[in-house]
Amino acid sequence: MSEGIDTKQFHYGGDRAESLEDFVLQLQDLVLDSPDFREFMTDMAAIIADRLSHSGNAISCGITVIRHKRPSTVATSDSRARSLDELQNSFGDGPCLTALRTNTVVYVPDLAADLRWPKYTTAACGAGIGSILAVPMQLQTPAQAVVNLYAAYAHGFPETGINTAQSLTGTAAKALDLALSVAHLRDARDDLSAALQSRTVIDTAIGVIMSQNRCSRDAAFQILAKASSHRNLKLREVAAIIVSSVSGEQEIRTRFDE
């Protein structure tokens, strides 16, 4: 994940100086340990905000993703970032959405003096924001994402802070790609497990019907299908009722279950 980035040159905020290598390790742990994708994203936003914050300048972080041409806030480090992200999405314009659309870093050093997004600027200033930094993520998927960073003071991101934010975002994008791949594999595994379980229940019910009616497998399946149609229930649900009536089991596990 750290390929192409000098992990020795990652210092910002004095009292919070950390190596990029540590950040990489944190993200790797998140990918492996997070129970779901949303929690992974929330933890990642919190880590990025913490890495960029330093004494006297607390940074808030939000992550916005565009799917089906609509922006949505998928994770934030705190409630301030969430309200600011959602506010921008409701206006349909602002520094973070501009960064997404142009795929370029957008830095607003003094929000009160910027005239590009008047409605959003007025609202963000009213929420106590002085400067904003938006860094798009370079993902390997069709989705687009941007890291939105908010500081209470004007000029809240010096040059070293901007460079650090870009390094963090570049690494986070690779972790996000990995997390998306893991989530896809988990979904595929769950779908396969559900399919196998349904097949097991149906096969068992067919065996019960064959035994009780002394009929062929095809005939037993037709009996099961007719019962499903008459009761307006799914085939698997009727099969589960039959199996439960014989064995008392409420759930049949396959040999592939963990």
Q: What domains lie within the chain, and their CATH numbers?
A: 20-186 (3.30.450.40), 189-247 (1.10.10.10)
Q: How many Å apart are CA 248 and CA 167, to the nearest integer?
A: 58
Is the pLDDT at 257 greater than 60? The verdict is no
* C-alpha angle 19-23-28 in degrees, rounded to nearest 5: 145
Q: Which residue has the higher pLDDT, 172 or 147?
A: 147
pTM of the model: 0.61
184 or 235: which carries more pLDDT confidence? Answer: 235
From the list 20, 199, 83, 71, the residue with the least C-alpha distance to 207 is 199
Whether the pLDDT of residue 245 is over 50: the answer is yes
Structure tokens, 117: 């997004």
Mean pLDDT of the chain: 78
Q: Is the pLDDT of residue 183 over 70?
A: no
Instruction: Evaluate if residue 18 carries a pLDDT over 60.
Output: no
Question: CA-to-CA distance for 104 and 135, rounded, in angstroms?
Answer: 7
pLDDT band at 152 (very low <50, low <70, confident <90, very high): very high
> Cα–Cα distance between 13 and 162 in angstroms, integer?
12
